Amino acid sequence: MSIDSPTQAIKLAELKSLIEAHDKTIRIGKPGVDSSGQEITDQTKSIYFTLEEIEKLTDFLNQDPLYKDIPKTEKGVKIYLGCYTEEIAKRYYPDHEKYVGKTTVALITALGKKGGQVKDILPQELEGEDEDKQRKPPVENVGTLCPPNC
């Protein structure tokens, strides 16, 4: 198994684009479409995330002053299904054409109780604020997709 794909948190706008692309295709039973407009016949089978990437999410929930005192039974990770657009695949993968139209997932921090309502903790993109000074919960997406990395 190859695990050499880039690892980066994605932006909120990209998360929304991934989800929207999935909602318009795979979620309603249509195949994903690659960068040449052809239907994907070998869709994503699995996605690998390193322990480090997962710990970014749990560390945020366990260390951030707003969330650290909330019981562990009420905080967790929510998984959104998405579909790579050409624009987003180009940003993260040098061989982006292998990823366009493929199913992906985004891991985000969330609060809730099992079996109850769950509230996403998303990064805020505030205009006019210094981006580096904003408290940002991580949103992990760039895992290692299989295929092509099986």
Q: Whole-angstrom Cα distance, residue 123 to residue 143?
A: 19
Percent of the chain exceeding pLDDT 70 equals 85
| CA distances in angstroms from 74 to 67, 70, 71, 77, 115, listed in the order given | 10, 7, 6, 10, 11
Q: What's the mean pLDDT in 97-116?
A: 91
Check pLDDT > 70 for residue 5: no
Q: What's the mean pLDDT in 46-54?
A: 91
Q: Whole-angstrom Cα distance, residue 4 to residue 10?
A: 18
Give bridge partners of residue 110 from the DSSP assignment.
76, 120
Structural element, H or E, at residue 55: helix 51-63
Give bridge partners of residue 81 from the DSSP assignment.
105
Question: Which pLDDT score is estimated for 127?
Answer: 44
Q: Whole-angstrom Cα distance, residue 89 to residue 105?
A: 13
Place of tokens 């052809």: 38
Q: What's the mean pLDDT in 37-51?
A: 92
